[in-house]
Copies of this chain bind each other. A is one copy, B any other.
């Protein structure tokens, strides 16, 4: 076989991510990942030290792909409100309709609770998404002179809601209906764009 194995580590990571989305992280074997790119397990271990390493590589690939897509889809629009809506639409669509995403990230959440490297990688990704959304919400508020610190709390709650909607869609498939998605996005836009004080205790 050729001595040059271009991008084999990357191809393995991509294959792993696909399989993790199809079957869940624990139900994918190293042998299956290797077979997906046409090699055997021995080859796999000449590129990755362990199954744990390929999991982290698959995560990294997923984060980069997701963030790139989010940026690409919103960069086309000029108005901050439209960009925010588009970001929410994309996020909700992926969360409710992309079963592979749900399977993979659900396993990842569970794994993150007892695996520090996985937890840290997810936290960084989550923060990157949050910063992007906070920027979008702040831009919307700047048009109506609102409180920026409110944006962060609102975004936190809506990001949490997005993750929760993803879980809910796993056992209530009708959430993926376009009308349901629209209602969810409308609810989130209303919540994020309403200019209000954070809570009674902080009311002037």
Contact = CB atoms under 8 A, between A and B. Distances in A.
Interface string A12-42: 0000000000011011000000000000000
B171 A164 contact: no
A183 B199 contact: yes
Contact of A190 (B123, B126, B168, B199): B199
A157 B167 contact: no
Bin chain A's interface residue count: 35 or more
A186 interface: yes
Contact of A160 (B23, B165, B183): B165
A110 B113 contact: no
Contact of A159 (B102, B164, B183): B164
Contacts of A163: 160, 163-164, 167-168
Interface in A175-204: 182-184, 186-188, 190-191, 196, 198-201
B107 A154 contact: no
A161 B157 contact: yes
A103 interface: yes
